[in-house]
Amino acid sequence: MLIGPDGRLIRSCAQASKADLSGAASRTCSSCVRAVDGKVVCSQCERALCGQCVRTCWGCGTVACALCGLVDCSDVCEKVLCNSCAMFEA
């Protein structure tokens, strides 16, 4: 059994050869491994992000992923900071 590009199981080799495998290498989000629905990438590491994992830096407005963004919870509302802005806040 193989997993097809749409996530469904394919039972025979004949069906697998007929299936369109061009979507099998689709890009996934670096934070949650969902399919990427746009072309948003982290400004720090250039990894692909889905719409739900996009974090915008409070200081400069760049896009940061969950790995590169620092969440500052010291104030009343939490702020996301990219690595560059986090250096100046420390």
The pTM score is 0.59
Read off the pLDDT of residues 10-54 as tens digits, 9 standing for 90 and up: 765 554 455 554 444 467 887 888 888 778 888 888 888 888 888
SS3 16: helix
Task: Select the more confidently predicted residue: 67 or 20.
Answer: 67
Using CA atoms, how far residue 41 sits from 16, 63, 67, in Å, is: 32, 7, 12
**For residue 87, is pLDDT > 50?**
yes
User: Which secondary structure element, helix H or strand E, spans residue 15, and what is its range?
Assistant: helix 13-18
